[in-house]
């Protein structure tokens, strides 16, 4: 089993190009099913979840493979409409294949995606949106049997701006006759990237980034190329590592506007942050200090995916910081592992109170989920001694090569496979 070993307490210094975004490439890979031809994705990150998506595409009958850093999908032939349980359970975002397969084939059989480490992961908004468009969906035996001989564009109102449900409605809308208007849509930058990909394929999609997205099926789709946007949460991770350990880093190829709600508390904690077009420079010269309460919210609010990561950066800060997790029910599983390293964190329901300590100590810790695992690496950067991370497969779902990137910033981290 692979483990990461971090020798903490070293200041960071270096520059890094930010990888492509997991939460952009995954719905775009599902969307590639919509066109019976080739889609070429540039700047595609090599992630466990991307490999899982490739397995789903190949299961459906598509060709999908790497050509250097480009991922090339050819969906000319789709000869299956089912996604088996094993493939569906590999990742949460497999749900977006439902809308795409329905739009392309008129039917789909998928299993209910597993709940996951963040608490229950309901799909009521996904199903309601597809039913509004005319899909007949039967839930039986843990599977969803879906038929949609004909989908008709309509208005879809989401009671929560769900990212996944917004994406599923966009993809299904590309298979509907007429115009689909998605109200209270998620506004994440990854939704805008998906819109650009769909438009590049020949569909008419506008409004992404706002709460109202308008989708109209294109008369003819065509082969296309698309460059995956940079991963804003990966960028936050490396900035937080420098904030925690102290030092000075430069991230390139990142739109600072996508993470401004995280840059602000980093400045409040005492970091010097300068940003220009596609570069962010962070310097942390002294011990951080506590910040005003952080409340996670849908974009453009503070991203829930950055909650654990920013928390890890503040563990040795002077003073107290409070986090309120409003998006997911169970997103503090990393806390117990951080406490093993000497952190002082109290959790009451959705609220976590972090009291800064003088010193964190390296310890053997276990990754509980993707961003919780990243938070342990951030804490390990600051801790005295060696931190050993196990269950790093969680991290590898979303980070192309965390040890490689942190070493580029001067960290002492290695990956060992000790069987």
Catalytic residues: 116
Neighbours of 42 (CB within 10 A): 13
169 half-sphere exposure, CB direction, 13 A CA radius: 36
Q: Which of 371, 372, 394, 396 binds ligand EPZ (CB under 6 A)?
A: 371
Instruction: Report the nearest approach of ligand EPZ to the CB of residue 210 (Å).
Output: 16
Of residues 213 and 383, the one with the C-beta less far from ligand EPZ: 213
Q: Which of 35, 43, 48, 92 binds ligand EPZ (CB under 6 A)?
A: 92
Q: Does 370 bind ligand EPZ (CB under 6 A)?
A: yes
Sign of CA dihedral 256, 260, 263, 267: positive
Of residues 8 and 164, the one with the C-beta less far from ligand EPZ: 164
Q: Supply angle C-alpha 300, 24, 15, rounded to 5.
A: 85
Residues 185-224 that bind ligand EPZ (CB under 6 A): 186
Q: Which of 33, 56, 98, 123 binds ligand EPZ (CB under 6 A)?
A: 123
Of residues 160 and 272, the one with the C-beta less far from ligand EPZ: 160
Q: Which of 25, 64, 23, 61 is nearest to 43 (CA)?
A: 25
Query: CA-CA distance, 182 to 206, in Å (whole number)?
Result: 11
Q: Across the strands, what pairs with 212?
A: 183
Q: Which of 43, 48, 104, 126 binds ligand EPZ (CB under 6 A)?
A: 126
Residues 22-61 that bind ligand EPZ (CB under 6 A): 22-23, 26
Question: Which residues have CB under 8 Å from 348's CB, separation 6+?
Answer: none
Q: Does 402 bind ligand EPZ (CB under 6 A)?
A: no
The answer to whether residues 243 and 309 touch, using CB atoms and an 8 Å cutoff, is no
The answer to whether residues 278 and 235 touch, using CB atoms and an 8 Å cutoff, is no
Of residues 47 and 383, the one with the C-beta less far from ligand EPZ: 47
Binding pattern for the stretch 280-319 against ligand EPZ, x by CB under 6 A and - elsewhere = ------------------------xx--------------
Residues 5-24 that bind ligand EPZ (CB under 6 A): 22-23
3-state secondary structure at position 345 = strand
Q: Does 115 bind ligand EPZ (CB under 6 A)?
A: no
Q: Which of 19, 53, 111, 162 binds ligand EPZ (CB under 6 A)?
A: 162
Strands of 240-343, DSSP E: 247-252, 272-276, 279-284, 294-295, 320-324
Counting residues that bind ligand EPZ (by CB under 6 A) gives: 24
Of residues 221 and 296, the one with the C-beta less far from ligand EPZ: 296
Q: Which of 13, 40, 21, 14 is nearest to 254 (CA)?
A: 21
Residues 225-264 that bind ligand EPZ (CB under 6 A): none
Query: CA-CA distance, 357 to 317, in Å (whole number)?
Result: 7
Instruction: Report the nearest approach of ligand EPZ to the CB of residue 318 (Å).
Output: 29
Of residues 186 and 343, the one with the C-beta less far from ligand EPZ: 186
Of residues 93 and 321, the one with the C-beta less far from ligand EPZ: 93
Query: CA-CA distance, 103 to 152, in Å (whole number)?
Result: 11
Q: Does 124 bind ligand EPZ (CB under 6 A)?
A: yes
Query: CA-CA distance, 413 to 160, in Å (whole number)?
Result: 40
Contact residues toward ligand EPZ (CB under 6 A) are 22-23, 26, 92-93, 121-126, 160, 162-165, 186, 304-305, 327-328, 370-371, 398
């Amino acid at each position: 089993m692979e483990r990461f070993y971090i020798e903490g307490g070293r200041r960071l210094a270096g520059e890094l190009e930010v990888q492509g975004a997991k939460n952009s490439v995954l719905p775009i890979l599902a969307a590639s099913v919509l066109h019976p031809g080739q889609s070429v994705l540039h700047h595609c990150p090599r992630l466990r979840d991307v490999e899982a998506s490739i397995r789903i595409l190949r299961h459906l009958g598509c060709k999908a493979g790497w050509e250097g850093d480009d991922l090339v999908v050819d969906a000319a032939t789709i000869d299956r409409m089912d996604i088996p349980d094993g493939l569906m359970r590999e990742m949460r975002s497999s749900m977006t294949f439902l809308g795409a397969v329905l739009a392309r084939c008129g039917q789909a059989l998928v299993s209910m995606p597993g709940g996951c480490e963040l608490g229950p992961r309901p799909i009521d908004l996904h199903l309601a949106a597809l039913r509004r468009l005319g899909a007949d969906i039967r839930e039986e035996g843990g599977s969803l049997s879906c038929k949609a001989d004909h989908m008709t564009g309509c208005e879809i109102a989401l009671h929560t701006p769900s990212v996944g449900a917004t994406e599923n409605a966009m993809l299904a809308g590309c298979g509907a006759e007429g115009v689909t208007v998605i109200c209270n849509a998620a506004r994440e930058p990854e939704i805008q990237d998906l819109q650009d990909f769909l438009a590049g394929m020949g569909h008419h999609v506008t409004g992404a980034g706002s709460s109202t997205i308008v989708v109209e099926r294109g008369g003819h789709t065509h082969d296309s190329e698309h460059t995956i946007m940079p991963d804003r949460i990966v960028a936050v991770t490396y900035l937080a590592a420098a904030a925690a350990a102290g030092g000075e880093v430069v991230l390139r190829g990142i739109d600072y506007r996508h993470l401004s709600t995280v840059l602000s508390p980093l400045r409040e904690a005492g970091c010097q942050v300068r940003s220009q077009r596609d570069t962010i420079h962070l310097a942390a010269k002294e011990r951080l200090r506590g910040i005003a309460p952080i409340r996670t919210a849908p974009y453009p609010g503070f991203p829930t995916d950055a909650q654990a990561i920013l928390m890890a950066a503040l563990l040795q800060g002077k003073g107290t910081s409070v986090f309120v997790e409003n998006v997911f029910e169970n997103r503090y599983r990393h806390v117990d592992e951080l406490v093993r390293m000497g952190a002082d964190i109290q959790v009451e329901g959705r609220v976590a109170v972090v009291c800064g300590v003088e010193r964190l100590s390296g310890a053997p810790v276990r990754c509980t989920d993707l961003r919780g695992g990243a938070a342990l690496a951030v804490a390990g950067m600051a801790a005295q001694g060696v931190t050993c991370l196990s269950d790093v497969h969680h991290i590898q779902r979303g980070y192309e090569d965390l040890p490689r990137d942190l070493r580029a910033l001067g960290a002492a981290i290695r990956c060992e496979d000790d069987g």
